[in-house]
Amino acid sequence: MRYVSTRGGVTDLSFCEAVMMGLASDGGLLVPADIPDIRDQLSDFQTLSYTEIAARVMGCFIDDIPSEALETLIEKSYATFGDERVTPVVPVGDMHIMELFHGPTLAFKDVALQFLGNVFEYVLARDGGRLNILGATSGDTGSAAIAGVRGKDNINIFIMFPDGRTSPLQERQMTTVLDDNVQNIAIEGSFDDCQSILKGVFADLEFKDAYQLGAVNSVNWARVLAQVVYYFAAWVQLGSPKAFQVAVPTGNFGNIFAGYIARRMGLPIDKLILATNDNDILHRFFTTGRYERGSVHFSYSPAMDIQVSSNFERYLYYQFDQDTTRVSDVMSDFLSKGSATVNFNTVNFDDAFATGCVTDEETLAKIVETFENTGYLLDPHTAVGVHVAQKYRNSELPLVCMATAHPAKFDDVIKKGLPEVDVTHPSLEALKELPARKSQLPNAQQAVKNFIAEHNSP
Ligand SMILES: *Cc1c(COP(=O)(O)O)cnc(C)c1O
C-alpha cells in the first residue's frame, strides 16, 4: 500500500515512511492510496481474537513490515491492556457500550498510542536514527503519549504542560513515569504558552533537524489505523449482525474517521452517529456544509474542546473522490478566512453520518439517568455520545456507543450529578503514593531548546 498527501504534494510513501513523516510535508494529511474492500473475508473474523483481527485489518495497509514482525508489534501493544478482549463490548440497557479505556492511562488514546510507540521503536531499530518527541498537553493526551514510548530505545519524549493548571490526577499520570527517556516539563504559563513554544521550536528547522524532533499528534496515520480495528472487533463481539450503528463522541474526528474507514472497507455499519459537545464545528458542517472555526468553549468533556477537527481533511479527500486540488482549495479558504463552504449538491455526499451536539446539562443528565436506570457509570465524553445516539438511533438495529474514558478520570463532573457515588480506579488511586518527577521551566522557547539539548542522550 502506498501513501499520498490529501493536497497532492507528497506521493508514493510506504507505511513506515508515512508514520515517520506524521504530517505531510506539503501541509496536508497522509492517506492510503486505496481503501481495500474486505467484506468477502468478514465471515472468517468471527473466531478471531482482537490481535488476530488487528493483524488482518492492519495487514491490508502495511506491506513494509513482515507479517510476523507486525504480529509481534500488535501483541506487545495490547498486552498492556487490562481486559483480554482489549476493547470489550458490554450490554447496557437496550444498547451496547464498547469500552476503549482498558489501556495504561484509562482513555481510548492508548489504543492508538501503544501501537504508534512500538512502530516508532521498530522503524528506528531497523533503519537507524533517533527521535525526540516534543508535545504540549492541557492534560489528557500527554499521559497516553508518554505511556506509548516510555522505556523505548532511541526515543526521548518531552511533554510540556502548564504548571499547576492540569488536574492533579492528570499531572500525576505523567510525572510518576520515571523512565530515563521521559521528561515532563512544567511551563510557568498557560496551555496556549506551551503551544506557542511548541510551534516556535518546530519552526526552527535547523534545531528540528539537529535534534530529530517529531510529534505524536492526532494526525499520524498509524493512530487512525489502530482505531479502525476495534470497529471490526465490535461487530464480532455483537455476533456479526447484518447491520449495526455506532455512536462516537468526537473532537478531532480521529476516532469516528477510523469508523468511516471500516465502513468503506465493507463493515456493515449503517450509520456513524457523530456527537459533539458545545464545540460543534462538525455538527454544523454536516447540517449546513459550512466548515467554520469557532472559539473554544470549556465543557464537561474537555478532550473534545476543540476549535478545528484536525482529521477532517482526510474525510474531505474521500468525499471529493481523491481530488487533491479541491481539498487544497477548501483548506486554503478555511485557513485564510476561518471558514469554507462545501456545496452538498456538487459533492456526492454519502449518508454515513447522523450528527448532534450536547450541552453540559444534557451530559450530566445522561450520566445520572443511565446510572439510575442501569447501574452503569458513563464518563462525560461517553455520555455525549449516548445522548445523541438515543436521539437518532434506529431501534431495529444493534447500537454500540464508544466509551472513550474510564469514569474515574472525570469523577469531578460525575460528583456534580451523583454526589453519593464513589467512582475510583485502583491504578489511579495507586498514583497518589508514587514518587513523581518534573522539571519546571520558564515560559521561554530558548529554555525548552536548552533543556532538549541537555537531555538528548540515549
Ligand atoms: C481524544 C478524546 C476524544 C475525542 O476523540 P477524537 O479522535 O479527537 O474525535 C473523546 N474522548 C476522550 C476521553 C478523548 O481522550
Band the pLDDT of 458: cuts 50, 70, 90.
low
Measuring from atom 11 of ligand 1, which residue has the nearest CA?
404
* pLDDT over 90 (residue 130): yes
What is the domain partition of the chain in residue ranges? 89-106+222-426
* Atom in ligand 1 nearest the alpha carbon of residue 227: 7
How far apart CA 394 and CA 398 sit, in angstroms, is 8
If you measure from the C-alpha of residue 105 to the centroid of ligand 1, how many angstroms do you get, rounded to a whole number? 13
Measured from the CB, is residue 407 less than 6 Å from ligand 1?
Answer: no
* pLDDT over 90 (residue 13): yes
Lowest mean pLDDT among 25-34, 185-194, 208-217, 322-331: 208-217
pLDDT of residue 87: 98
Write the CA distances from 20 to 130, 181, 188, 212, 239, integer angstroms. 11, 19, 31, 11, 37
CATH number of the domain at 89-106+222-426, please? 3.40.50.1100
pTM: 0.96
Handedness of CA 334, 311, 141, 369 (dihedral sign): positive
Q: Single out the residue of 439, 458, 279 nearest to residue 359, CA to CA.
A: 279
What is the average pLDDT across 65-70? 98
If one counts every other C-beta atom within 10 angstroms of the C-beta of residue 316, the result is 21
How far apart CA 231 and CA 245 sit, in angstroms, is 10
22 in Cβ contact with 208 (< 8 Å)? no
How far apart CA 20 and CA 25 sit, in angstroms, is 11
What is the average pLDDT across 129-143? 90
333-339 own/partner pairs: CB under 8 Å, 24+ apart: 334/291, 334/293, 338/292, 338/293, 339/290, 339/291, 339/292, 339/293
Lowest mean pLDDT among 51-55, 171-175, 292-296, 388-392: 292-296
pLDDT of residue 215: 84
pLDDT of residue 348: 66
- Better-predicted residue by pLDDT, 453 or 141: 453
User: Angle at the Cα of 157 (from 160 to 22), degrees rounded to 5?
Assistant: 95
Measuring from atom 8 of ligand 1, which residue has the nearest CA?
252
Measured from the CB, is residue 10 less than 6 Å from ligand 1?
Answer: no
Average pLDDT, the chain: 94
* Atom in ligand 1 nearest the alpha carbon of residue 254: 7
Best of 246, 280, 381 to mutate for ligand 1, by most ligand atoms within 8 A of CB? 381
Band the pLDDT of 344: cuts 50, 70, 90.
confident
Strands across the sheet containing 399-403: 89-92, 95-99, 399-403, 244-249, 269-276, 353-357
pLDDT of residue 139: 74
The model's pLDDT over 417-443, given as tens digits with 9 standing for 90+, comes to 999 998 999 999 999 999 999 999 999
Which member of 109, 152, 271, 409 is catalytic?
109
Band the pLDDT of 58: cuts 50, 70, 90.
very high
Band the pLDDT of 456: cuts 50, 70, 90.
confident
pLDDT of residue 191: 86
* pLDDT over 90 (residue 150): yes
If you measure from the C-alpha of residue 364 to the centroid of ligand 1, how many angstroms do you get, rounded to a whole number? 18
* Atom in ligand 1 nearest the alpha carbon of residue 250: 9
What is the average pLDDT across 105-121? 97
What is the average pLDDT across 84-100? 98
| 109 is known as an active-site residue | yes
What is the average pLDDT across 95-115? 97
pLDDT of residue 97: 98
Best of 98, 276, 304, 411 to mutate for ligand 1, by most ligand atoms within 8 A of CB? 304
If you measure from the C-alpha of residue 128 to the centroid of ligand 1, how many angstroms do you get, rounded to a whole number? 33
What is the average pLDDT across 359-384? 98
